[in-house]
Amino acid sequence: MTDKEQQEDELLALTSIYDETVLSVSDDTEEPGGQFLVSSHIPENFSIKSLSKDNKIEEHVVKNLPPISLNFQLPKDYPSVTPPQFTLSCKWLNRKQLTKLCLRLDEIWEEYKPCVVVFLWTSFLQDESYEFLGLSDTLDLTTPQSIERKQSTEKYDPRAIQDIASQNRLLATLIDYDKQVIQMEFDRSLFECKVCFCDRTGSQCINFYECDHVYCKECMKEYFTVQIGEGNVNGLYCPEDKCESQAHQSQVKELVPPELYAKYDKLLLQTGLDTMLDIAYCPRPSCQQPVIMDKEMSMASCASCCFVFCTLCKLSYHGLSPCRIKAEGLRKLKDEWLDGDEATRKLLEKKYGKAAIQQAVEESFSNEWLDSFAKKCPHCGAQIQKIDGCNKMTCMKCRAHFCWICNGFLAKANPYSHFSEMGSKCFNRLFEGVDMGDDDDDWDQWM
C-alpha cells in the first residue's frame, strides 16, 4: 500500500473508534491530520491542594481534569520514512511532564516504524500516561518551584506546550472545567421524572439546585404555569414531599413563555414592594414632605404639593405599567447595593424589594461581563469565555478552533501554527494579553 492509502485507512479506523468529542480530523487532503483529546482516568476522590488568601491549605475534590491535546499532521512520506508531526498541550501538566510524554511518543515510533502509529499514540496517552508519569491522587499547587527551575539546565521539548499562561489562574480553570463536564454528563444521563414517571435525558430535565431533585421540563413548565397564573410566585417549590427548595429565576425563565415570565417577574417585584415602609418622602427637591403610601397601587400623593408619584421609581405615577429603569439606572442601583453598609441595604430592600435589586445586580453584571470577557464563536455564534490560557480557543459547543485575537478559524491539524507564521498579525502572540500576575518567578517551573 502507498503512504497515502495507509494514512487514509488509519484516519478511517480512528474515526470509527472515537467519536467527534474525542477526535476531530482535518478536511485537508493535502495535509491530513487532526486533534485527539485525552481525558485521563484520574483516581476516585482526586483532589487539588491550593493556598487560600490567608495562606491556608485547601483541598478541592474534582472528578474531571482538562484533557491532554494531541495535535498531529501526517507528512506525505508517512509512515514509510517520516513520523507524524505533533504537539502536546495541557493545562495542568507542566512542560517537564509533557516533554517526557513527547519523548515516549518518539520511542513508540522508533519501535514500530514504518507502521502507522497514531492509534498506538492515542492508546498510550489514554491508558498509560497517568501511570507513566507517576502521578498520585493529588495535584499540589501549594509549593512554588522557582528555585529548582532556576537551578535546572534542563531543556524542554518545543512540542510540549503548557496551555495556560499563569499558575495562579490554574485552580479556577480546573474547577470551572469540572463543573462544565458534570453539566454535560447530566445532560446526557437518563432520569425518571417523579411526576410523570417517564424517562428523560438530563437535557430534557431540570434539577433544583438546593436538593438536586430532577424533573422533566414538560412537567415543570405546567407546574410553573399554574402557580404563576394563580399569582403564587413564591410557591415554586420542589414537588418532592416536604422539600423546601425553590426554583431559580433562570429556570423559570427558561421554561415559561416570555409574557408569563414577565408576569412572574412583575409579581415578584410587587411582592417586594409589600415590604416597604408605610412612609415615603416626596421626591420633589423643593418639597421632601413625608407621604403615606398606597401599597396596593404602588403610589403616593403628596398632600403638600399634590405630586402623585410611583413609590418604586419616584417618578410620576404611571398606573399598572412597569417602571422603566434604563441600563444606567440598573448599574446605579447595583453600585448602591454593593457599596452600601447594612443600613443602606435594608433601606434599598424596603424601597425597591429584593427581587428588583437582584434583577438589577444580575443584569448589570451580565452586561458588563459579556462586554469585557466574552466573544462569539465565529462558527456557531456561542458566547465564549476566555478564563485563561493561550489565544488558541476551542468552542465547547461546536469544537471549532479560532484565534482570540483576530477571531479567525484555526486548522484542526495544528492550530498553533497560526501563531508561528511569519508575516501574520498574530505571529508570536500565543500568550499576548494574559495577565501573568505577580508569580512570574513561580511560573518559571511551568514554562
Q: How confident is the prediction for the chain on average, in pLDDT? A: 83
**Cα–Cα nearest to 60, from 175, 185, 176:** 175
pTM of the model: 0.57
Residue limits of CATH 3.30.40.10 in the chain: 186-248
Mean pLDDT across the stretch 71-93? 94
Flag whether pLDDT at 146 surpasses 50: no
Residue 259 phi, psi dihedral angles, 5° rounding: -70, -35
The pLDDT of residue 329 is 64
The pLDDT of residue 205 is 94
Sign of CA dihedral 237, 240, 244, 247: negative
Residue given cell 512570574 in the structure block: 440
The pLDDT of residue 353 is 61
CATH of 276-372, one of 3.20.20.140, 3.40.50.2300, 1.10.3720.10, 2.20.25.20: 2.20.25.20
Confidence of residue 442 (pLDDT cuts 50, 70, 90): very low
Please compute Rg for the chain using Cα positions.
29
Flag whether pLDDT at 368 surpasses 50: yes
Confidence of residue 125 (pLDDT cuts 50, 70, 90): very high
Cell numbers at 180, concatenated: 462544565
Sign of CA dihedral 211, 217, 220, 225: positive
Residue limits of CATH 2.20.25.20 in the chain: 276-372
Q: Which CATH superfamily is domain 3-164 in?
A: Ubiquitin Conjugating Enzyme (3.10.110.10)
Distance between terminal CA atoms of the chain? 42
Flag whether pLDDT at 28 surpasses 50: yes
Flag whether pLDDT at 443 surpasses 50: no
Based on DSSP, count helices (H) and strands (E) in the chain, helices before strands: 13, 20
Cα(137)–Cα(131) distance, rounded to whole angstroms?
A: 11
The pLDDT of residue 268 is 78
Q: Which residue has the higher pLDDT, 251 or 370?
A: 251
Which residues are catalytic, by number?
Answer: 390
Cα dist from 377 to 304, 393, 399, 402, 433, whole Å: 58, 9, 10, 8, 19
Fold adopted by 186-248: Herpes Virus-1 (3.30.40)
Flag whether pLDDT at 424 surpasses 60: yes
Residue limits of CATH 3.10.110.10 in the chain: 3-164
Cα(333)–Cα(73) distance, rounded to whole angstroms?
A: 54
